Structure 1
Amino acid sequence: MPPKRKKKKPEGDSDDGDPPTKRKSNARNPSGKNQHAAVPPLEEIADIIRKYHSDNPSFKYPDYIEALMRDHDIKIGRSKIAQYLSQLGLSTSSRGNRMPDDEQTQLILDELANDPNQTRGPRVVKEALNLSGHKIGRNKISGVMHTFEEEGFEKRDPKAQKKTVKRSALTSVGPHEEWSMDGHDKLNEAGFGIYGIRDKWGTKYLHYRVLPSNRYATVIGVVYLECAKKIWSQTNVSFSTTGIPIQGSSDHGSEVRDAHALQKTLREEYWDDDDAAAVPAWKFLESIHNITVESGWRPLFYKWGVNVLDLYFAASIIPLVFLQILMFFFFFRQTSNWIWFPLVQRDLDNFCHQQNNHRIRYQAEKILPSGGTPNEFFANPGKWGGENCLVEVPAHRIDELLDEARETAREHMRYVDDEFDVLARDAYEALGKPDITLHSAWVVFRAMVEQLDRM
């Protein structure tokens, strides 16, 4: 019988009772502690995820992971963010859409009803549905559009449209290097003047306003300051203050007088830079060279404005006048303004939101960023080769100037009298505050005129 082998003592064992010596671990992180905190539970970051989803409907898993790390120092894995999105009922792909086919078709048709001139293609319709929380595949949308609006594809065929003048490439260092400003008059026949401010680098629609008139310098000064105040909410957590651009640009219209003066004054106060003397605070351009904002007017009008005009003039106003023949024209016009001005502003805000989430196809020859959305360009300019150029201004300074400017421009900015505004609010509440949309506006108008007649 072979002799029993003596068991080998573990390293560090000794006969005298001394404690064993610990082996040196080969693990990369023997402590098990990471540099980032544990992933917060869903209830703590649900609102953050929902906001990312709302502001950036084209976000994929890597985008959520990058944004959470960048903005909140939250390190999260692909599986966990997928789990959280699923629990919140959110999706990054139309493939996970379990909505019945007939419901998808109806949603598409409802969206097409907002575009009676058939100016939008399947991709734009898909983006609009994404923003309203409905993930529907492009093939499905295209199929429905071919079935119900085949002629729309012919209207949008570039070969059937007039060729535009070829422009030279635009250049810019980064967001807020230059704000391009201009007015738009094609909705004036309905009484709506539009004024817009667009960023040159990211082509983001910064601030677009519906006004009784876009010709007054005091009014455009207010629009400029409103844009400066709005910057904080548009940049999420990137900046601790609001601010202005390094440079403003516009055509030679006299309406920019106050905006020009404000830009020059604020930049002198808050931009202490070696290049300040070499870079003018404002650049005046011929209209055909004010490309950044001018290039946005065509899609704004043909994808949004024409539909607003059609729906505004769709109702037969004359029968309403006969029904209320004892009513003064004052009430007729004021009621129309009270309903339509806020409505058109909301719809314009929605259009700008869609455009800022519209993915710009990658163009290798383009100097300015491409292959993403304007919102993405702004959220992380470094990723796209840009440098943030915002001239930071204390929020209280902007608030002070804005209060003064609004008081000066008050008469040129209001679309109803103060006394009538009180009456209209009472009449609207008496009707139960019905929902006002582009399709229901004239129905609500008729009900309000009748209610005002009884008051």
Structure 2
Amino acid sequence: MPTHRVNRYLHQSFHSRFKLFKTVREIMLLNDPDGFDIRNPSRKPVVRCKGHLTGAGVFQEIHCDGHEKISSKALQIGAVGIVIYGMKCHSSGLIVAEQVVPNSQCEHTIAHRYLDMVEAYGEIPLQLTVDGGNETGQMCACHIALRQIYTPDLPFDQVPAFVALKSSDNVPIESSWSNMRDYNGRDLKTAILLTKDSDKQYFNPMDPLHVNLFNWVWPKIAQKSVLEFKEYWNHHRPRRQHDKILPSGEFPIKVFKFPDNYGLKHCASAKPGCWEVVQHLRGTLDKTKEECFRWVSDEFDVQAQVVYEELGSPELKIVSGWSVFCSMLAILKDMD
């Protein structure tokens, strides 16, 4: 190709690309005027202003998050692990729901947990606050649908239904996980990891029977531990913080049940017929509640329950988890 044609082609290519860049820049400036300054490499980081939490009342805002400190990645003993999903009332500090789940990354599982909470309280919070994971999509859709049905007079631009924050900014529920670790969370994890000791090794991650039995025994123990912490937290008196704006030094359950005594309102909306709407929303999800919360197959569940009852239904506790596991394992092996 002659040199003058090459030069002309490069000249035209440069101008066409320059026009494209200019168009993209104009569109970006139109939609996000501050974006360029925010992404400037030489820009100094903005110091985040920290202040006191404020709130108008109970069920105005519910914080949701998953706790993965005993997940399969954390335990590293194969594919087994336990994840906890919790919900906490912003203004009262009450833990409204906490449950172990097989998969906290499944959006249908999280949606069912939200609908369980609505069923349990018979009320709908105004706002859900999460840390922005993909698993909250279906929960968001269910909550927006309930808001549209029962609070149509509250516009979303004034009273948002769903807010996604950075995990570090979702303070109430994040602090709850550290409190749980101090109460019994570390004991639970330590007990499970006893199988890593060279002189114990109760669990073989390559054996399907071991995996099924782990998923039958330990989630039950974990759920019991979670409920013990929930009961303790909701009925304990935290230390008084004199500079705190929200109620301080009071039992969370007391603030939740009697918000008027603490200058708060009851912001939830409770309507007759809510149960039917919840069941309809469950029907729109691709997975049923039973599928989402199934740890083992129905066949193994029945088999393990029979063996457990043969042993006299020993109490499932953190300190006796592996003892029950080994006793059941010996019988299940003989049944194969």
- For normalisation by structure 2, the TM-score amounts to 0.76
Q: Which residue pairs with 1:176 in the alignment? A: 59
Residues 108, 287 of structure 2: 8 Å contact kept: no
What is the CA distance between 1:223 and its match in structure 2?
A: 1.2
* CA displacement at 1:250 relative to structure 2: 1.0
State the Cα deviation string for residues 281-315 of structure 1 (Å, max 9, x = none).
11121222211212222222233221111111224
Match of 1:335 in 2: 213
CA contact (8 A) 2:220 2:316 kept: no
In 2 relative to 1, CA 435–303 (structure 1 residues): closer, same or farther, beyond 3 Å? closer
Aligned length: 279
In 2, Cα distance between equivalents of 1:283 and 1:228: 18
Which amino acid is 2:125 matched to? P
- Deviation of 1:449 (Å): 0.8
Percent identical residues: 29
Task: Quote the residue 1:360 is aligned against.
Answer: 238
CA RMSD of aligned residues (A): 2.6
Question: Is this contact kept in 2: 1:320–1:446, CA < 8 A?
Answer: no
Output one character per residue of 1:145-192: Cα deviation in whole Å (capped at 9) or x when no partner.
xxxxxxxxxxxxxxxxxxxx9941111110000011111221113401
CA–CA distance in 1 between the matches of 2:283 and 2:89?
A: 24
Distance in 1 (alpha carbons) for counterparts of 2:257 and 2:201: 50
CA distance in 2, matches of 1:192, 1:340: 8
Tell me which structure has the larger Cα radius of gyration. Answer: 1
Does residue 424 of the first structure (1) align with residue 304 of the second (2)? yes
- Paired residue for 2:115, among 204, 221, 225? 225
Distance (Å, rounded) in 2 between the aligned partners of 1:439 and 1:347: 11
Q: CA deviation at 1:431?
A: 1.5
Q: How does 1:230-249 map to 2 (within 5 A)?
A: 230-231=120-121, 242-249=122-129
Offset from partner CA, 1:210-261 (integer Å, 9 cap, x none):
1222111111111111111222xxxxxxxxxx02111111122111001100
Give the corresponding residue for 1:396: 276
Report the CA distance shift for 1:179/1:406 in structure 2 as closer, same or farther (over 3 A).
Answer: farther
Indicate whether 1:264 and 2:147 are aligned. Answer: no
Query: 1:113 maps to which residue?
Result: none
Match of 2:68 in 1: 185
Residues 403 and 204 (structure 1 numbering): CA distance in 2 closer, same or farther, change over 3 Å? farther
Pairwise CA distance, 1:363? 3.2
In the alignment, does 2:67 pair up with 1:203? no
Going from structure 1 to structure 2, the CA distance change for 1:405 and 1:439 (only over 3 Å counts) comes to farther
Deviation at 1:264, TM superposition (A): 0.5
Query: Partner letter of residue 248 of structure 1?
Result: L
Matches within 5 A, 1:338-353: 338-353=216-231
SS of alignment partner, residue 229 of structure 2: helix
CA contact (8 A) 1:229 1:399 kept: no
Aligned-partner Cα distance in 1 for 2:303–2:206: 15
Cα distance per residue 1:196-219 (max 9 Å; x no partner): 111100111111121222111111
CA distance in 2: counterparts of 1:446 and 1:378, whole angstroms = 43
Would the aligned equivalents of 2:194 and 2:201 in 1 still touch at CA under 8 Å? no
CA shift for structure 1 position 403: 6.2
Seen in structure 2, the aligned counterparts of structure 1 residues 333 and 391 have a Cα distance that, compared at 3 Å, is same
Contact 2:131–2:170, Cα closer than 8 Å, also in 1: yes
Measured against aligned partners, the alpha-carbon deviations of 1:15-46 in whole angstroms (never above 9, x if no partner) come to xxxxxxxxxxxxxxxxxxxxxxxxxxxxxxxx
Cα distance in structure 1, aligned partners of 2:98 and 2:129: 16
Deviation at 1:406, TM superposition (A): 8.6
User: Please, which runs of 5 or more residues in structure 1 have no aligned partner?
Assistant: 1-164, 232-241
Secondary structure, counterpart of 2:64 in structure 1 = strand
Show CA shifts across 1:393-427 (max 9, x none): 42332244346649446444321111111110111
**Counterpart in 2 of 1:289?**
169
Residues 363 and 275 of structure 1: CA distance in aligned 2, closer, same or farther (over 3 Å)? farther
- The residue correspondences of 1:65-84 to structure 2 (distance < 5 A) are none
